[in-house]
A and B are shown apart, each in its own frame.
Chain A
Amino acid sequence: MTGLPLLTSCTTNSLSYVGANDITGSFSVSMGPNYVYIANLALAHNGLVYVIIGNNNLWTRPPVISEIKTGSGPNGLPPSFFRVLSYKTTIPTSGNMAWTGLTAGSYTMYIVASDDNPFDSANFGTIRSYSISAEVPAHEYFLAAAVLLLLALIF
């Protein structure tokens, strides 16, 4: 496999879980000035987690499963962010994810889990949605207020 980075290890082949699967319990979706992260997300079985974020000004409706699977927004519109996580029940952190490309605006994050099967025979759980936006840190508010005050003093 020339043209690829060094292969350091590989596992043996094992059967995938195929069947009903969904997110269990609660998990965290948190935001900061330029990031959003997911923590403590867990599935009932090994599976895949599809995370897609769309700009609310662009997406006029939520995406459906067929669109999410191909990393697309509604009617083929591009996402702001798309990622697939491979969740293993033996690795609790495999459901964690962070993205540091968040910019100012209003977004919706959609999360859906499937069984351990990326093919079109996959079994999906419920699509969950979360409104997100970049949070402006407090020091930026202080800086803006200081600039306004300075301008007022000058003029």
Chain B
Amino acid sequence: MLGVVSTNCQITLSKSFSIPSIGMEMNFNVVSPGITMDSFLYLNFPSYYSSGLGPDIKCYSPSGEIYCYVVDRFLTMQYLGVYAAGASFTITVTGVTMAINYNSGTFSFVFDADNNPSNVLAAGTFADSISSTVLTIQNFPTINIFSFTQSSAFLREEAIVITLTFYLSTTLTSIGLGQSLFMVFPPSFSDVLRFATPSCNLNILGNTLKNYVSTCSVRGMRIKMPFLDNLVLGSTYTLTVGGLINPTFSTSNLYRYSLEITDTTGTSILAKSYAINCNYILPTFSSNPITTTLNYYLLDGTAITSLNSMANIQSSSIYISPSSSVASAVYARNTYLSPLSNLLSSPSNINLLSGSNPFPIRLSSLTSGVIYLYFSKSGDGQYYSNLPPLTLTTSKNYFTSVSFVETAFSLPVGVVETNYTLVVTLPSSLYPMSEVSFTVTLSSTTTGISMRTEPTIISFYPGKVVASILVYVNDATSWTVGRTNSLVFTPTAATTSYAAGTTIPLTAVAAPSSPPVTTFTLNTATVSSISFNIGCSEHGKFIYHLSRNFAYNLSACSLNQSTTVYWLNQNSLSSLRVYESYYQCNDVIGSINVQAGVAASLTLSSLQSSTSYVVDGFCETQAGVQSNFTSISTATLTNGGAVNTMNFVFASALTTAQKIKLVCALALNFQVDYTKVSTWDGYYCSELLNRRLLQEDYTQNSRLLTATPSTVVVYFGVNSYTTSDTSRTNIVAQANTSTLVSNPLLMQISSIPT
């Protein structure tokens, strides 16, 4: 039985451009039943509207564009805004094709407070409206477009300028102040037009001194340009529209740009252009051959342009990649994306670094709504195409409760005041985008154990998905083998990301008879991961620390047990190496719960290939008793890369700046990771950040006596951030040609920036 809460809700309809075959604007004037950002509005159109309603439907609330989609004649709108019961507001739906055979039918609507179908806020019907002019203005005059230019026909290019030349017949009634010129775009612009910031000029042909239009704004698939002055009929005009963005993907050229002139009410069309009278064809949009196309992908290589998430819960991972082979793709240029101001992302900054593989990106926002994402990029020198727009829809989580990786704990019996530490871990599908907190209690207070802190509140953040809970024995005679209790996790008042809390059962088991003994052996290593077999003789957790292993300083990255435990309990390792900047230790500290005597596996992934690591691990019982430290030194497998070198002999010695310029140029020329190109004396392309450059005593050069000061030995390193490094093959293919070696000037005059 469907319940309806409100009976005061009303909707009335008015239309602009209500002319058969024209994309009209429908204004639904709503008396609110009391709606929030989580509410839905379902509109069912009469049957004489075309299926799909029109080639491109967009919806607007008073605060801007809102999310809507059409299935057949059923329009669903979300994130309308917040309107108290009785408040009036207008929703505009653009792009609905007016039916040729006009009838006056009935719409039906449903307002729903959430996506739970058992109850709705309001429901009802309202009549379609008919324009007084709809049947009289159908043969309006034609605007003939004589010529057309577009500054680029490459997909995804920005700052596009379109120029249209058209003639206004003297048969038109006067056109001018108060009326507007509209430029209508084909559906292929539906995802990018909302991001355009157009600039418009309308001049009489040959006279650019006078501009006949003022502001220039996007509404649906139209750009509206109000006239500033009366137009001279019988004249030819040039319309220039700049600041546009070309379509994202190739489509058929079925539709063209068209022009419309409206009356002073902005609701009726006085004249328009038709394709058959226009002396131009729409450009055939194609990818720019000198750019590499970036897209959003899932890990399986599926390209996406929309993504769903729940409020404050990270979406599934997406990847920005130059190919659908996400795992093996490699960025060839540093590329920085912005803005992220109204978006939460993990990682918080999305920087695509040359030489690295695409990495998982998870998005969300704190509240329900839709975010149309269009990143602008920098740093790549236009090596990559622009990314397509991405639609992120975020809904309130009505159904998914919090849960943890750990589903049960075995808690040893012990004497009064014995402390236990229980570690809970959020599953990746429930990672928060900002802080979430839970109050932890015990379901029973009579089983002999208590929370060490009352109240116990645990929190999770992006990057901190593990929390510790302290309990202790308060009555040893009650907490006996086989006794049970439960940890109860209740979201705090500020935590609304999960539908409900959860519980984890506790069971009393026999106390350990001796300190824990660790089993820790190497299992397998791949190019990017290392697996271990682990085990503890007692219930508790296995704590590990992974770091790089430098052969010339084996202790450079080592931590002792107490330090490891300290950093395990910190929210971030960002300040762990604050006093040591040289060694890139790449620390990973973590723990996993283990059952006594039950073998488990530990896999550490996202590691660098061809790299030596050391992993230290030990067991800790829930009562805090630790085993001895066990270390395993190992290395990830090679990714095929190898350190290689070339000698360059110049007519004179190079300055430091020139060395840096050389390695930067070689990185660009050979298209290899610039951080892996170095002179023999340690100058990188990024050397400007190195303090040595700032301390360089240039006078030393004149006092240094070496045999061949003008020879520069350049090394190309292994890009260990990728699973496959073919950089040497690429370098050899270009460098080891007889032409180049015999005529090195070819390299000097190649396309190297100054």
Contact = CB atoms under 8 A, between A and B. Distances in A.
Nearest to B652: A5
A119 B715 contact: yes
A1 B715 contact: no
A1 B710 CA distance: 16
B707 A94 contact: yes
Interface in B672-707: 676, 678-682, 690-692, 695, 699-700, 703-707
Contacts of A98: 704-706
Nearest to B737: A12
B649 A122 contact: no
Interface in B364-402: none
Which bucket holds chain A's interface residue count?
35 or more
A24 interface: no
12 contacts: A3-B754, A4-B662, A7-B744, A13-B732, A16-B645, A67-B582, A78-B695, A81-B700, A91-B707, A96-B707, A118-B682, A121-B717
B224 interface: no
A91 B713 CA distance: 14
A86 interface: yes
Given A70-B692, A76-B691, A118-B680, A9 B661 contact: no
B748 interface: yes
A69 B680 CA distance: 11
Contacts, number: 177
Contact of A122 (B552, B707, B716): B552
A10 B582 contact: no
B654 A4 contact: yes
Given A7-B648, A13-B728, A121 B662 contact: no
Given A1-B750, A118-B678, A119-B718, 9 more contacts: A1-B747, A1-B748, A7-B648, A67-B582, A96-B706, A99-B700, A101-B700, A118-B679, A123-B552
A6 B651 contact: yes
A8 B651 contact: yes
Given A2-B752, A3-B658, A99 B705 contact: yes
B559 interface: no
A10 B740 contact: yes
Interface string A5-23: 1111111111110100000
Given A10-B648, A14-B645, A2 B754 contact: yes
B646 A12 contact: yes
A55 interface: no
A72 B754 contact: no
Contacts of B584: 120
A71 to B, nearest CB: 4
A13 B644 contact: yes
A109 to B, nearest CB: 14
Contact of A64 (B553, B700, B735): B553
Contact of A4 (B551, B650, B715): B650
A37 B700 CA distance: 14
B341 interface: no
Interface of A: 1-16, 18, 37, 48, 64-67, 69-72, 76, 78, 81-86, 91, 93-94, 96-101, 116-124
Contacts of B706: 85, 96-98
A126 B644 CA distance: 24
Contacts of B695: 71, 78
Contacts of B580: 66
Contacts of B254: none
A85 B718 CA distance: 22
Contacts of B692: 70-72, 82
Contacts of B750: 1
B643 A117 contact: yes
A64 B550 CA distance: 13
Given A66-B553, A116-B643, A7 B582 contact: no
Contacts of B678: 118-119
Contacts of B658: 3-5
A71 B682 contact: yes
B735 A13 contact: yes
Interface in B699-743: 699-700, 703-707, 710, 713, 715-718, 720, 728, 731-732, 735-736, 740-741
A124 B552 CA distance: 6
B703 A101 contact: yes
Contacts of B752: 1-2
A127 B121 CA distance: 79
Contacts of A11: 646-647, 741
A86 B713 contact: yes
A16 B544 CA distance: 35
A121 B718 contact: yes
B705 A119 contact: no
Nearest to A16: B643
A16 B644 contact: yes
B649 A7 contact: yes
A69 B582 CA distance: 9
Contacts of B716: 13
Question: Most chain-A Cβ atoms within 10 A of its Cβ — which of B552, B676, B745, B752?
Answer: B552
B583 interface: yes
B556 interface: yes
Contacts of A15: 642-645, 728
B175 interface: no
Nearest to A102: B703
B681 A84 contact: yes
Nearest to A66: B582
- Name the residue in A71, A96, A124 with the highest tally of chain B Cβ atoms < 10 Å from its Cβ: A71
A14 B736 CA distance: 9
A57 to B, nearest CB: 18
